[in-house]
Structures are given as C-alpha cells and as structure tokens.
Copies of this chain bind each other. A is one copy, B any other.
Amino acid sequence: MAQKTGALAKKIANLEAVFNPSSIAVIGASREPNKIGHVIVKNFIDGGFAGRIYPINPNADEILGLRAYKSVLDVKEKIDSAVIAIPAQFVAQVLEECGKKGIKGVVLITGGFSEVGKHEEEKAISEIANRYGMALIGPNCMGVITPASRVDSVFLPIYKLGRPRVGPISFISQSGAVGGCIVDLAARAGIGMCKFVSYGNAAVIDECDLLEYLGHDKDTQIIVVYLEGVKDGRRFLEVSRRITRKKPIVAIKAGRSAAGAEAAKSHTGSLAGSSEAYRAAFKQAGIIEAATLEQLFDFAKVFDQVLPSGKRVGIITNGGGMGVLAVDSLEDEGLELASISEETAKQLRASLPPYANVRNPLDIIGDADSHRYEVALNAFMKDSGIDVILLIILFQTAAIDSSVVNIAIRASDQRKKPIIAVCTGGEYTEMHKRILESYGVPTYSSPSSAMRAISRFIKYAEHYSKYNRLRKAEPIKTQK
C-alpha cells in the first residue's frame, strides 16, 4: 500500500514532464502536412517551444528542418516527454522504448483501445507505463497545451482551433472534441489558460491524478473540469474537497439525464451515475457546478478577480434598460442590491450631471464618457457598503471610446473589490471585451450571465472563508 502510494506520487510528479518538458520526442512525426504527426511538430516549432524537439520516424532523416531519429533510443540526449501518434499496433513497442530511454511523461494520442473494446491492448499499455512510472495521458486523447511553456501536442491546426494566452485557468476534459471547442472559444474571447488536458481513456493518468497535480500546481488558480463519468467516486470526492479549500473547481457533468447517460456510455464507456448523486457529490466537495458549456468558463473566469467579502452588488451602467435587467437577475440569484452611502451619493451628485439619478443601479446616462465612468467607479470602490461592482458598458454610445477600458482595468488592478463587466454588441464591443479579458476583467454579454457568475463567486468566497482567513484586500493569487 505504501509502495502503491509511492508509485502514484511518482506518476503524478512525472506529470511535470508532460506539462513543462525541457525536451520532447514526437513519435510518428511526419513530412506529410495533413498528418497528425506533422501538425504536432509544426505546432511545437511555430509555438516557440524553447526546448529540443526530436521527431521520431523510421523512414525520415529530417522533418520540418529538424533531424529525425528512428527511435527515441537513438537520441543521445535526455528526453523528458514524448507525444505518440502512430497506429495502435505499434504503441506497446515504442512505449517500452520510451521507458528504457527514461522518458517520464507521455501523451498518447492514438485511439483504437478500450473505446473500441480493445481492453487487453489498453491494459498492456498501462502496464508498461506503470512499470516505468511514466505519467501517460490517453490513449485516444487530443493532447495537452501549456501556453506558458509553449507545449502544444494538440494535433489540430491553429486556424481551426485557437490557442489561449497564458492565464490562471487549467482545464481538464474527458472528451477531446468538447475540450477542443471550448479551448477555441476561450482563446477567441481572450481568456487565459494555464494547462489544458484532454485525457481520453485515462488508462494511466485519470481525472483524480490530474486534479491532484493541478491542486498543487502553483500556476493553476482555477480548475475547470468536463466529466462524463468518474472512475473512483470516493477518491474524486476526497481530492476535490481538499482542493476547493484552496482554489475553486468548476465542473460540468455530461450524461446527467437517463438518456444522456446512455449516450455517454456509448461515447466513452463511462458509467454516468445519477444526476442527483453527482449534484450532491459536487455540493459536498465544494465544486461549482456548471449546467451548460457557456457557464463552464463564465463561472471560471470570474475567479481572476479578488474574492468578494459580501454579496452586496453595486451596478454602474450607461444604459438604463441594462440596469433594470441586471436587477432582475440579481433578484433571481438571491443577491443583494447595495445601498449607496450618503457620502457616496453626495460625491456623485457633485460630479455627475444633474439629470443622472443617484441610486443603485447607477445610470450614468447614454452620454457618459470615460471620465464619468471613472467618477462612478472611484465612488463605488470607496463605498464600504458595496462588495462587488457590476460595470455595464455599452460601447455603441457616441461618447464612449477605448479609454474606458483602461479605467476598468485600473480599478480591477487595485485588487480591492471584484469588477465584473457586461458589454453587449458586435465587432467594436467584442474588441474591447477581449482587451478587458486579457487583463483579467471578466466580461459577459448579458446582465443575467454576469449575475449568475457573481452568485457562484460569492458562494465560493463563503466556502473559502470557512477554511481560510479571507482578507478583503488580498487577491486569491497570493493565498496558496
């Protein structure tokens, strides 16, 4: 048992080689542009991976300008990690070679194992990996992305699947397709990511191992999980409960319904378990449940802000109707509309035009410019009766320009209160939303989606403060 625990710890430690290798072998590297083994090598080169790349191909001397090798055993230098994309029947042999070479981490892209009923073959693979203590992701997976170290073994070209900037969110996905399309969506929105893992059949490294690793990973501040099923429910609960005391986990469980569970079984062979059981387990473990794909990152990105110290929301808007909708959503979510203090009101009355009605929601009127936003935001930042600021900016209005973005970012950078933005619109709006997101100011397309995220944020802050001393002025980043 002690040894087993030691083996597990080693395997998890070896995940470091998967996410941050100094050198990598691409086994199945190809000169054909439409081959997976070509796209992977190209993505490592184009992405600017700083370490050595060793293309492995028995029939090539050079691939994309790099010297190719017949086997990892032909490489003299140390290799940390390997990506394998070769037909299933050759996997066992090259994996054995990886073990002999002392490779610690493996991403096994190749499919054709347990998902098509080949359980024996998959068992053979995991036995080899376990014998050498290799951390193996897959098989039948889409790969791994670590934006900070430019690791990118996802075999889809960048024009089809955008890569996210460096950021605080790590995302593990049982489904490669769902994971990939969400990464693409996040990349476009300007959301930052720490690690992305499509873990496929989880023959060796499973969701619990990954959670364990990410729970300790100092770069990961928020964990997002797409699950169809869990292998070891008890361990999942235990690991999650431990992690959510330090950092939030947002998870979606696909296959909630009876018919959905049936579909999941056909898809990844997962035994989905009842909706109620999962919901209860999530709640017990302090996991934030997302009901839809949109909510997964809507909920996660809000945690880039400092944790709120209460549930009193102050709303600033340049469109009265949006304020009305925000208040509707606030009531739906059971949050509290903050009361503006007498001092704040006095200050606002002195600075805002006389036709602006000083109340919450604070409608600074359609002719508001950046300066008026600054006045309102400063007043709300100082008012101790306001815990969270919802900042609605309609970029369509004539007086608004890009400088309002800087004002929001400056307020957010004070790390005193969370600032959550709502901007609804087309191209011009989207451009500004991306800037806000890239500075960690979460933006939403509607008051309702923002308010739903705020409610999860506040609930988590309460959970967190049970186990930690929640200091108002301190960002979650420094509390690891």
Listed in ascending order, the chain A residues whose CB lies under 8 Å from chain B are: 34, 36, 116, 155-157, 159-162, 173-178, 180-182, 184-185, 187-188, 226, 228, 254-260, 262-264, 266-268, 291-294, 318-325, 327-332, 337, 355, 357, 359, 361, 363, 366, 394-398, 424-430, 445-449
Contact = CB atoms under 8 A, between A and B. Distances in A.
A394 B175 contact: no
Contact of A255 (B293, B294, B324, B446): B324
B257 A161 contact: no
Given A156-B396, A184-B396, A184-B426, 10 more contacts: A34-B398, A157-B398, A176-B366, A177-B318, A177-B319, A177-B321, A177-B322, A263-B327, A267-B321, A267-B323
| Protomer copies | 2
A175 B327 CA distance: 16
A357 B321 contact: no
Contact of A429 (B181, B228, B322, B427): B181
B293 A446 contact: yes
Contact of A156 (B157, B177, B184, B397): B397
Contacts of A394: 177, 180-181
16 contacts: A160-B397, A178-B322, A178-B325, A181-B319, A181-B322, A184-B428, A185-B424, A188-B426, A228-B324, A254-B321, A254-B325, A255-B324, A257-B330, A257-B331, A260-B328, A292-B329
Contacts of A116: 355
A357 B178 CA distance: 19
A177 B366 contact: yes
Nearest to A363: B267
A161 B319 CA distance: 15
A157 B396 CA distance: 8
Nearest to A164: B426
Nearest to A256: B328
Contacts of A397: 156, 160, 177
Contacts of A357: 266
A330 B325 CA distance: 27
A193 to B, nearest CB: 13
Nearest to A398: B156
Contacts of A178: 319, 321-322, 325
Nearest to A423: B181
Contacts of A263: 320, 323-324, 327, 361
A440 to B, nearest CB: 20
A279 to B, nearest CB: 13
Nearest to A367: B111
Given A266-B363, A426-B184, A396 B177 contact: yes
Contacts of A159: 427-428
Contact of A259 (B174, B181, B254, B330): B330
A327 to B, nearest CB: 4
Nearest to A36: B398
Contact of A160 (B258, B260, B361, B396): B396
A293 B447 contact: yes
Contact of A325 (B160, B184, B293, B325): B293
A257 B332 contact: yes
Contacts of A330: 257, 259
B426 A187 contact: yes
* Residue in A178, A263, A318, A395 with the greatest tally of chain B CB atoms within 10 Å: A263
B188 A430 contact: yes
A429 B185 CA distance: 9
Given A116-B355, A425-B161, A396 B181 contact: yes
Contacts of A359: 266
A425 B184 contact: yes
Nearest to A254: B324
Contacts of A449: 292, 294
Given A161-B426, A394-B181, A445 B324 contact: no
Contacts of A427: 159, 162, 188
Nearest to A293: B446
A445 B293 contact: yes
A237 to B, nearest CB: 22
